[in-house]
Amino acid sequence: MAAIRNELEYINEMAKTQPEELIRKSELRYRGILEGVAENARRKHGHKLILLAGPSASGKTTTAQKIAQRLGEAGLQTFRVSLDDFYLPVEGIPLLPDGSRDIESIHALDLPLLHQTLRELMETGRGCLPRFDFASGKRAQGRQLKLGADDMIVLEGLHALHPLLCAQFGNTGVKPEQITRIYISVSSRIYDAKRQIVLNKRNLRLARRILRDMQFRNTGAAETLELWPAVTAGEEQYLSPCKPNADVRINSIHIYEPCVFRARLLPQLEAVSRSRPCFEEAARLARSLRRFEALPEALTPADSLLREFLG
């Protein structure tokens, strides 16, 4: 796979002169990575398990869906399972020092239930997945799964590679050779010609997160910006130490994304009040986005990973 051209001047020149080609190359790079992952997983025998972990706004959900889709096209029925559905009822989630619930913690998950569910699926080919209702903060009965001889589960979530989650796999009937471990994140910065960072990896994810929260959670830019330090602190504590456990690392950057994000995101950042604690952070992110040529959202393919954030 060709190296990523993550220079501001290249991105802007392509956005002005060959926008469709800029987008095509970015989408093709990501698609090629997923096809390789799916092909390697397909070669394993028996029930198979893909563990997909990554920080907020890395594209876990779309990537899990696309891997499942590609395996399905190869004749392997594949089920996507989210760790979010294994949250404890809200009253069982550990507390932070300020009294709020630590939803980023591995201990916010019902690990015994997760291991029991995987054991039933792997040993009997049948199992019932829970469904977590975030509105009520409680779990409900979800769907029944039936696995064929070579069917697969893609288990995705922040803690999918955590040792506490993986330590009991030997008791669930999952053999090491049946597991593919994936870590996904934005792993490239965007530089200008002077090799100054225009957008770093974390701020690219922050831009995605603001858009997603606006679109799907009715949350404004200021609220997301003020929550972000707690989100990244949880990632550093619980996720970063697990990176070495991955067999595969996926860089989910789409280098044209700041061009597409600009039109919708800039007005939201510019509207953040000076009285908010996050004002300076909003202003910094806005300054970075103004350096990119704007591209219409309509150019973003309907099946792009970026649709996870744009809708």
pLDDT recorded at residue 269: 97
- For residue 275, give the CATH number of its domain: 3.40.50.300
Give the list of residues 6+ apart from residue 86 with CB closer than 8 angstroms, or none: 109, 110, 111, 113, 114, 130, 132
169-201: pLDDT as tens digits: 666 666 777 788 999 999 999 999 999 999 999
What's the mean per-residue pLDDT of the chain?
90
Which helix (DSSP H) or strand (DSSP E) does residue 269 occupy?
A: helix 257-270
Q: Does residue 219 form part of some domain? A: yes
Number of domains in the chain: 1
pTM over 0.85: yes
pLDDT reported for residue 175:
73
pLDDT for position 19: 98
Residue 1 has what pLDDT?
Answer: 47
Q: Give CA–CA dist 282/278, Å, rounded.
A: 6
pLDDT value, residue 308: 94
Q: Backbone phi, then psi, for 173, in 5-degree steps?
A: 85, 5
Scored b (16 or more CB within 10 A) or e, 67-95 reads bbebbeeeebebbbbbbbbbbbeeeebee
pLDDT tens by residue, the chain, 311 residues: 457 899 999 999 999 999 999 999 999 999 999 999 888 877 766 557 889 999 999 999 999 999 989 888 888 888 888 998 999 988 888 888 888 888 888 899 999 999 888 888 878 888 889 888 877 778 877 888 888 777 888 999 989 999 888 876 666 666 777 788 999 999 999 999 999 999 999 999 999 999 999 988 888 999 999 999 988 988 898 888 889 989 999 999 999 999 999 999 999 999 999 999 999 999 999 999 999 999 999 999 999 999 999 98
Give the range of the structural domain holding residue 249, as residue numbers without chain letter.
8-310
Asked whether residue 83 is assigned to any structural domain, the reply reads yes
Question: Going along 77-213, which residue ranges are E strands?
Answer: 78-82, 126-133, 138-146, 152-156, 179-185, 190-191, 197-199
Q: Report yes or no on 3 lying in a domain.
A: no
Q: What are phi and psi of 95, to 5 degrees?
A: -100, 145
The reply to whether 1 falls in a domain is: no
C-alpha torsion angle, residues 187, 166, 64, 222 (rounded to 10) = -60
In a domain, 2, yes or no: no
Contacts of 251 (CB under 8 A, 6+ apart): 4, 33, 185, 186, 187, 188
User: CA dist 18 to 23, 88, 279, Å?
Assistant: 9, 49, 35
| Amino acid sitting at position 253 | I
Contact between residue 234 and residue 265 where contact means Cβ atoms under 8 Å apart: no
What confidence score (pLDDT) does residue 160 get?
A: 92
Alpha carbon dihedral 153, 211, 96, 160, in 10-degree steps, equals: 20
